[in-house]
Structures are given as C-alpha cells and as structure tokens.
C-alpha cells in the first residue's frame, strides 16, 4: 500500500513509519520542516492545519498521528488543542478519500472509570480538553467512515514508552522519562503523588507501531472499529521507580507530594485487538521498555 503518516517525525509517528516500511509498504511522512525520518520514509512537506499543503495522493492508507498531546497544556489553551486535534483531523479526512485511516487516539477519552481493566464498551467521559478534543476527532473519523468514503480504525493508547533507533521519548512530563532523567542526573528528584501506589500500564512504542500496521491492513472501506492498545499489565508507580534503579544501576530519589485525587488504577483490556487482529505486545515487559529508553537517553548524552 501507499501510506501517508502524519506526525511522521514525532515519537510515535517515527516508530509507525519504520514498521510500515519493514512490512513492505510505500511510505510518505508528512512533516512541517526538515526532520529525521526512518530509512525508506519519504519526507513530504505539509501541515494538517493548512489543507492546501496536504499531499494529493492518492493514498491507500493514512496513519494520522499529528496532534497536540500534553494534558496540562490543554487546560491552558483548550481552543488550540481543539483546532489542532479536531480541525486538523477533518482536513486529513477530506484529503484521504478512498483510503484506510488509522487514527491515533488516547485512553484519556475514558476519563477515570471505576471499571478496570477498561474495555472499549466503557462510556467515554474525558476529564480534560485534550481527551475531549480526541473524542471529538474520533467521532468525525467514525461518522465519515460510515458514509463509505474511508475505512477507519481508532486506536486508543494508554502509556507509551520505550525507544526505537535510539530515539528517546522527548516528553519528560511522563513517568518513565522523568524517572530516567533523575537517574541520569538531569533532575534532582522524582516527585510522586502520595505513596506511589497508583497503578498504570506501559506499552513499548514499537509494539504500538506494530498495531498500526495490523489495523491498516485489516480494515475495509465503510468499516469503523475502535480498539484499546495496551499491555493489560498494571504496575505501581513505586515499582516503576524500583525498576528504573535496577536497570540503570543508579538511584532515583523521590519526593512524595501530598496525595492528590487520581484514579488508583488505569489499565486497559486489550482483548478485542488481540482477538480481531492477532496483535500481541512483544517488547512491553517493563525492564525492556526501560532498557531501550535508558540506552537512547545515554546515547543522546543524557
């Protein structure tokens, strides 16, 4: 297939492009400026907020990953997030006629449900503008697919970590990059909420990229599907810290902040994608995630 990847130079977009090339697809990567892309991915200049700049194609498939993603920033600039994540998606959909579209969404659309692990049938109730903007974009994708103009798969991801090709996760607001920054001496301590017993799950970015390939190859025009993508294995924050110390051989001092309201557990139920697409995470054991992240950080001079 000829495939366009938006956000191709980003943390996840790079990994997806790399996997698509390995699977034998002909891949264009949409970028706004010069950027490093995987071998075999052709750079195409454009911006999802500028419809006239989007490549005409035609494309057999589109993996749409260009988005704003930081939750805290979304509270400060909600309109910016809705513009980028909703209008940007609408622009991509208009340019993707006849294509199979895999849309990168998030577990933030669920909010903080009591039922754990979380299935796709759980009611959506986003608690921040980021999650709300992604849910609105999901709805645009799915309703458009029901017209027969495209086929669509929405992938709702939980916590993505790890590294491919020595590319570290650049977002040090996330737990594993934050803990590794402390281990590398780039930060004095890791601040955690309360006793660190909140449970989260982690998925290697390469495993997520493999799910994009499976989804792209499975969907037909007129279909719309939604899948959770995650390991399904929960790990407490304090266990993540201990694993970082063990893998790196360095201490990670922590500072316990007064407890703030947060879900005690957020873990996905990945049964549907496993049953429908035969996808299984292969690199998402926590030590491997941390090793690949640490290798990328130290290679970059962290």
CA distance 102 to 21: 16
Q: Which two tokens stand for residue 103?
A: 């849309």
Any catalytic annotation for residue 110? no
Phi, psi of 103 (to 5 degrees): -105, 125
CA distance 117 to 292: 27
The CA-atom distances, in angstroms, between 263 and each of 111, 115, 127 are 9, 11, 12
- DSSP string for residues in the chain: -EEEEETTTSHHHHHHHHHHHHTT-EEEEEESS-----TTEEEEE-BTTBGGGS-----SEEEE------HHHHHH-HHHHHIIIIIHHHHHHHH-TT-EEEEEEEGGGG-S-SSSSBPTTSPP---SHHHHHHHHHHHHHHHHHTTTS-EEEEEEE-EEE--BTTB----TTSHHHHHHHHHTTSSS-EEEETTS--EEEEEEHHHHHHHHHHHHHH--TT-EEEEEES---EEEHHHHHHHHHHHHSS---EEEEPP----SEE-B--HHHHHHH----SS-SHHHHHHHHHHHHHHTT-
Instruction: Determine which one of 11, 59, 110, 130 is catalytic.
Output: 130
Active-site residue list: 130
């Amino acid at each position: 297939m000829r495939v366009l990847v938006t956000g191709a130079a980003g943390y996840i977009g790079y990994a997806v492009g790399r996997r698509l090339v390995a699977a034998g697809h002909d891949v264009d990567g949409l970028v706004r400026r010069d950027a490093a892309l995987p071998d075999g991915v052709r750079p195409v200049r454009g911006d999802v907020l500028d419809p006239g700049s989007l490549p005409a194609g035609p494309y057999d498939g589109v993996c749409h990953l260009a988005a704003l993603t930081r939750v805290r920033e979304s509270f400060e600039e909600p309109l910016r997030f809705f513009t980028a994540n909703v209008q940007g998606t609408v622009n991509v959909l208009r340019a993707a006629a006849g294509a199979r579209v895999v849309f990168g969404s998030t577990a933030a659309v669920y909010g903080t449900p009591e039922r754990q692990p979380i299935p796709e049938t759980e009611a959506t109730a986003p608690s921040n503008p980021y999650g709300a903007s992604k849910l609105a974009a999901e709805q645009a994708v799915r309703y458009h697919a029901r017209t027969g103009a495209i086929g669509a798969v929405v992938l709702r991801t939980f916590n993505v970590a790890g590294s491919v090709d020595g590319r570290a996760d650049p977002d040090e607001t996330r737990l594993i990059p934050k803990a590794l920054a402390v281990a590398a001496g780039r930060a004095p301590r890791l601040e955690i909420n309360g006793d660190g017993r909140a449970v989260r799950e982690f998925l290697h970015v390469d495993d997520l990229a493999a799910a994009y390939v499976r989804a792209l190859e499975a969907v037909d025009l007129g279909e719309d599907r939604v899948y959770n993508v995650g390991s399904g294995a929960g790990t407490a924050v304090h266990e993540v810290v201990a694993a970082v110390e063990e893998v790196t051989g360095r201490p990670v001092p922590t500072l316990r902040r007064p407890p703030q309201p947060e879900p005690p557990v957020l873990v996905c139920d990945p049964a549907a994608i496993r049953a429908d697409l035969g996808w299984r995470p292969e690199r998402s054991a926590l030590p491997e995630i941390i090793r690949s992240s640490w290798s990328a950080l130290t290679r970059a001079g962290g």
